[in-house]
Structure 1
Amino acid sequence: MFDAIPYIGKITEVRTPADYVKKLVESVKGSWRNVTYDNWFTSVPLADDLLKDYQLTSIGTLRKNKREIPPSFLPNKSKQPLTSQFAFDQQKTLVSFTPRKNKSVLLLSTMHYNDEINPETSKPVIIQDYNSTKGAVDTFDKMMHSYSSARGTRRWPLRYFYGMIDQAGINSMVLYVDAKHSNAPINQFRSSYLKSLALQLAEPHMKRRLTTNLPRELRCTLHDILNMTEGPPADEPPAKLQKQLRCAMCPRKRDKKVKTSCVKCQVPACSEHRRDICLNCI
């Protein structure tokens, strides 16, 4: 994902489909990439603007009500199946492909300027390039829903944050796979990649928590996650007190005096609130 526009409800200003396309391609302006869109966005003025002002080519299907389409390019019963018509205008190419009788598919491209047809499928190369690059948004959404960090919430800022996390996870995986030239199946690799990414992001925080006073169960869990072994302390403090003190965890009315303390925090503790363990279990 290069860019996105979040939906935040109904807007007062009037925006055309071309406005959304121009806003989204700002991040790739001047890169001479190709933009693929469907018939809700495709128009001749937009294709001209992307090529001239943004240095981007485009491919898109055209609706049959566009005034720029010649009448002969529209569906006609006299057209034979698997036939194509081409029209060229400066740097644009219009193609009308007839997959079956009384049916036509119209595409506009500024990436192609020829009438090349695949002899095996009898389809124009423009249609094949469109089919190979369309559906990226749907694929991206499907990948996000397959492994999502989102949780049920009515707070829209939190839901927005969940979406950013999911999008960043996919983008970072694509960059990582491209850098490593990995041949692993993307669906199988993504699960292990997200687990590794989450662990690496949380690792500094877990190590910082180990430097504080934590319950033994939580400390052991963190050591297991980080694959760390906690050995006995180098200088173990004495467990015996110089004089009797009141147990810190017993009620004051009991006034229970002890001469033993916790090995780590040295808080006076009686036998009811203290456990004796060996050095291997510390």
Structure 2
Amino acid sequence: MSYRRFLTISRYIRFDDGRTRPFRLETDKAASMRDIWNFLNTNLQKNFRPYSDITVDEQLFPYRGRTKFTQYIPSKPAKYGTKVWWACDAKTHYPLSGNIYTGKKPNEGRAKNQEENELIRLVSKYSNSGRTIVADNFFSTLNLCKRLISLGLSFVGTIRSNKACIPPEMKQNKIRAVLSSEFGFHQDNVAICSYVPKKNKAVILLSRVHYDKEVEGVKRKPAAIMHYNKTKVGIDAMDQMLTHYTTKRKTKRWTLAFFYNIVDVMALGSFIICKENNNYTKSDARRKFLYDLSEMLAHPQIESRRNNIHVIKHSVCRSAIEDILGKFEKQPNTLTDTKSETLEKKRNCSLCHSQDKHRRKTRFFCQECADAVCQQHSKCYYKCFKCIKEN
């Protein structure tokens, strides 16, 4: 499409029904994007089956414009933006499902156990599958671990040292030796381990998978911590891949800016599915995949412009279409009265000089008298392919 048409579409594009939006905004701050966001989650879950580990974490989509739910997270590189809870596959970094964080809902008080409820909402589709949920200390509680057990899921994640379920012996202190570990076991087959990576620091972790005192490596790290370090990077790796190739453009509308993030997520998911079904070994495989994907998405629009005689008559458009589609095939002529053929060399219009005192070059000529004539002094008539064949 032309650049002007692209700007027009970007200006007027909307993602919901504007007639019902004011009523939906009373209960949902992200009502302007809720329909397309639900469509995204449905397709992401339908087209991929995750491996044994699922990572749950947050993504901060950078945006400094005006929204009712902009978040400030100083630990993130962007610091300001829209926060999205994501569940992704730990092995392939495929995004499975996400939820936009819009803050406190209207006419409601402070939410209780919000982190636990968000995690349960994201992974409830995989209940009774035996998969392991990996999360950081923002989500981890002993109550969450028990709730996941009731859903037929396991859990591995770090836990904050101020939780009541942690014994005092496992918290950080100056007495504990470096690279030492302490273990505790709950009656519900939930283990807790505390590891000292350096002096006066302790890493505490809950695990439903590792119910023993096994340690690994030279630094004698517990097996639960090794498993956590291996699978925790799912969301961070997905976010890093999204920033390498992005469709983002400068805009003041948060819905359009967030739509670009949705396009990036869907393109990444498509690449991971294609990679799992094919052997991709080259380093630029994703770049080539995105290039081929963009051509496939643009192909229907290119074909429609190829069949439009008003577009094909321009040499710039015609050469561009030929480069993408290959050899150009001449379309059936739909002009029945004038401009059906073109001249090899431009000539002056025979009517411009006599009527307007201008000399206008043209390649078209009249079918009756064969005089050169421009588009301003000629008429074009259309006829369907059926009538052309009958004649």
Coarse TM-score class (shorter-chain normalised): 0.7 to 0.9
Does the 8 Å CA contact 1:86/1:93 hold for their aligned counterparts?
A: yes
Residues 1:191 and 2:287 are matched in the alignment = yes
Structure-2 change in CA distance of 1:189 and 1:253 (3 Å): same
Residue 40 of structure 1: aligned partner = 138
Residue 178 of structure 2: aligned partner = 81
Structure-2 change in CA distance of 1:238 and 1:162 (3 Å): closer
Residue 364 of structure 2: aligned partner = 262
* 2:373 maps to amino acid: C
Give the distance between the partners of 2:367 and 2:139, measured in 1 at CA. 68
Structure-2 change in CA distance of 1:119 and 1:253 (3 Å): closer
Identity of aligned residues (%): 28
TM-score relative to the length of structure 2: 0.60
The structure having more radius of gyration, on CA atoms, is 1
Give the distance between the partners of 2:97 and 2:276, measured in 1 at CA. 19
Residue 99 of structure 2: aligned partner = 5
1:222 paired residue among 294, 317, 321: 321
Structure-2 change in CA distance of 1:166 and 1:251 (3 Å): farther
Deviations 1:128-172 (A, max 9, x none): 110011122122111111110111111122122111110001111
Deviation at 1:122, TM superposition (A): 0.6
Residue 208 of structure 2: aligned partner = 110
Give the distance between the partners of 1:166 and 1:158, measured in 2 at CA. 13
Structure-2 change in CA distance of 1:123 and 1:8 (3 Å): same
Equivalent residues in 2 for 1:100-249, closer than 5 Å: 100-185=198-283, 188-212=284-308, 213-214=310-311, 215-226=314-325, 228-230=326-328
Give the distance between the partners of 2:184 and 2:322, measured in 1 at CA. 68
* 1:72 maps to amino acid: E
Structure 2 segments unaligned to the other structure (5+ residues): 1-94, 334-338, 344-348, 377-391
Structure-2 change in CA distance of 1:126 and 1:247 (3 Å): farther
Deviation at 1:44, TM superposition (A): 0.4
Residue 121 of structure 2: aligned partner = 23
Does the 8 Å CA contact 1:3/1:27 hold for their aligned counterparts?
A: no
Give the distance between the partners of 2:367 and 2:271, measured in 1 at CA. 44
SS at match of 1:2: strand
Deviation at 1:119, TM superposition (A): 4.1
Q: Which has the higher contact order (CA 8 A, sep 6+)?
A: 2
SS at match of 1:262: strand
Give the distance between the partners of 1:73 and 1:136, measured in 2 at CA. 28
Does the 8 Å CA contact 1:261/1:268 hold for their aligned counterparts?
A: no
Structure 1 segments unaligned to the other structure (5+ residues): 241-245, 274-282
* 2:180 maps to amino acid: T
Deviation at 1:45, TM superposition (A): 0.5
* 1:3 maps to amino acid: S
2:167 paired residue among 53, 67, 70: 70
Deviations 1:84-142 (A, max 9, x none): 11111122110000112221110001122121111433101110110011122122111
User: Segments of 4+ in structure 1 off by > 3 A?
Assistant: 7-15, 231-240, 250-253, 263-273
Does the 8 Å CA contact 2:364/2:373 hold for their aligned counterparts?
A: no
Give the distance between the partners of 2:294 and 2:323, measured in 1 at CA. 16
TM-score relative to the length of structure 1: 0.81
SS at match of 2:99: coil
* 1:217 maps to amino acid: V
Give the aligned CA root-mean-square deviation in angstroms. 3.3
